[in-house]
Copies of this chain bind each other. A is one copy, B any other.
Amino acid sequence: MAPFLSKRDLSFQLFEVLDSAALPQRPRFAEHSREIYEDILNLAYTVAERHFAPHAREADLNEPHVVDGKVRLVPGVAQALAAFRDAGFFSAHHDEELGGLQLPRVVMQAVQAHFKAANIGTSGYAFLTIGNANLQRVFASPEQQQRYMLPLLEGRWFGTMALSEPHAGSGLADITTTAAPRGDGTYSITGTKMWISGGEHELSENIIHLVLARIQGAPAGVRGISLFLVPRYRIQEDGTPGETNHVVLAGLNHKMGYRGTTNTLLNFGEGGETIGELVGEPGRGLAQMFYMMNEARIGVGMGAVMLGYAGYMASLEYARERFQGRPASQKDPQSPTVPIIAHADVRRLLLRQKAIVEGGLALGLYASSLVDDLQTGPEDAREDTHLLLDLLTPLVKSWPSRYSQDALSDAIQVMGGAGYTRDFPVEMYYRDNRLNPIHEGTEGIQGNDLLGRKVTQAGGRGLQVLLSRMQADLRASEALEGLGEIRTALSTAVSQCTQALQALLSQSGRIGPDLYLANANSALEMLGHTVVGWMWLRQAAAAARALPTARGDDADFYRGKLHAARFFATHELPRVRAHADLLASVDRTTTEMQEAWF
């Protein structure tokens, strides 16, 4: 089987594009070193390869089902999560006093990338648990953290996020699950939650749901939503799980892919009382949940990157080993056939995958490095970092979700009929990844978030920070060899973005919010491609700096980076223009379409 990621590339991204080796200069990471990070990444590779990858197809073929009232999963899932726990990955980024290693977020993201590439379905249980604990670390009371969070850090209990309801998937303002005060500070939770990943299983001693609900009498809309900690089993005085809390599995969803992760319909308060604890202040539920959600959105984007990455590696191996056909210039039918990687169109399909998945990886890790900068970087830069991260989050979520699907389609195409069969993993990755443009905020939601909120917040400061960072990298690259095409193409794209947004924003008052947002999808496309173009400039610059003294495989690696940047410049960045033109023209095609005309 092909490797599921390139260790060389991950090292390049962390230590040559980003300056992660300098993180130990910050007090929180003073005990660390590049060697420690590399050891941890090697451990992640080993655990992912030995415990996650082997049952990925088995879990796909045997989706979760209910036997005697219990959700049954293939045995590899529990074994893999035990290995993940034993390696300490549930808490590695937490404080030492909580049992963690205080790993930087960017290193943690790189660790997690291995499990996503090796087995996205099984890794889902771990990452929901980690996200749940991270939210508690910020918003839950010390007593709540003691009771509900510590068992998650130890990997003994697992966590979920329970937002959607059957009538309200994207439209969270309309949720109706209610919380009735029980008089002792706790609440009685009643309602139904839909699309709850990891909502029911026997993998852990308990499951802690983070549930959005309305306290009786709360106002309509998002201001009336509060957040609750709701355990599957009520927690006894000694902290161990006790009797049922009446969270009842009402059904499993049967998905096209991502099958290893149980997805459930849950009834709260069925056949008895479901008791929950309020987190933080009433009415702050959605804002608090967005702490987890923003992290989850970067996580979804990284999941998409890694599915695409695994598909790229599989199709690359196939293209090197499969012999078929001859160059168009070779007319002798008795000449030997060539490996299909020699055909220009196969190389196009591989280059496009490389450009997408390595560009997406650079973006996901860059965003994670901003999380570190927010927490441990220079104080005076944090406000700008915060606004930049806010602006990038919808792009980090949506761009890889969309373009990894294209990359995976290319992986299938490289392999032809073989890629369409279950003899190879790429068809599974393709099915798995199609969830990513949907969950944790659909493409439509990301577009509205980007154009309706992030582009304009703080007077457009986030966009200014982005533009100035891109311009700084463009200027710095002028001294380097071999970057002409990516620099020119990126400059052009940045100008097109700037002009389009200026044109649109100058009319926003006059045209009103509906028309302003009508082409938000083009804003996602335009800025997404431009930001990934920037990531390619940064990678190309790092490669250009290293190439003069590189030898052998290293030199080939850097030439590949420079060439993939050129590919992104010549084949991908020219797409920006059409989207910029559409935005700038305030195109009304979608708003003027009438229902009856369909």
Contacts and interface: CB of A to CB of B under 8 A. Distances in A.
Contacts of A559: 594, 597
Contacts of A254: 421-423
A61 to B, nearest CB: 10
B589 A570 contact: yes
Interface in A372-410: 405, 409
Interface in A323-348: 323-325, 327-329, 333-334, 337, 339, 341-348
Nearest to A339: B595
Interface stretch (A118-126, A268-276, A440-448, A470-478): A440-448
Nearest to A574: B578
Given A195-B417, A431-B256, A171 B590 contact: no
B413 A405 contact: no
A333 B220 contact: yes
Nearest to A174: B337
Contacts of A409: 405, 434
A416 interface: yes
Interface in A517-570: 517-521, 556-557, 559-560, 563, 566-567, 570
Copies in the complex: 2
A370 B194 CA distance: 51
Most central of A195, A256, A324, A518 by chain B CB within 10 Å: A256
A interface residue count range (under 10 / 10 to 19 / 20 to 34 / 35 or more): 35 or more
Interface in A135-187: 164, 167-171, 173-174
A563 B345 contact: no
Interface string A410-421: 001100110111
Given A438-B420, A571-B582, A316 B598 contact: yes
A256 B334 contact: no
A350 B598 CA distance: 8
Most central of A171, A221, A570, A597 by chain B CB within 10 Å: A597
A581 interface: yes
Given A171-B325, A344-B518, A444-B343, A351 B413 contact: no
Main DSSP-derived SS at the A contact region: helix
A582 B572 CA distance: 11
Interface string A245-261: 00000000111110000
A514 interface: yes
Nearest to A194: B417
A420 B324 contact: no
B592 A563 contact: yes
B448 A351 contact: no
Contacts of A222: 333
A345 B444 contact: yes
Contact of A345 (B346, B416, B521): B521
Given A409-B434, A514-B344, A578-B575, A563 B597 contact: yes
A286 to B, nearest CB: 12
A420 B256 contact: yes
Contacts of A566: 589
Most central of A427, A444, A556 by chain B CB within 10 Å: A444
Interface string A508-521: 00001110111111
Given A329-B513, A574-B578, 13 more contacts: A169-B417, A170-B324, A174-B324, A174-B337, A254-B421, A254-B423, A255-B422, A320-B595, A348-B590, A413-B443, A416-B442, A420-B438, A557-B597
The 9 closest A-B pairs by CB, nearest first: A221-B333, A560-B597, A574-B578, A328-B513, A345-B444, A256-B427, A220-B333, A344-B518, A171-B325
12 contacts: A167-B323, A169-B416, A169-B417, A254-B422, A256-B431, A320-B595, A343-B444, A344-B519, A354-B598, A413-B442, A416-B442, A571-B589
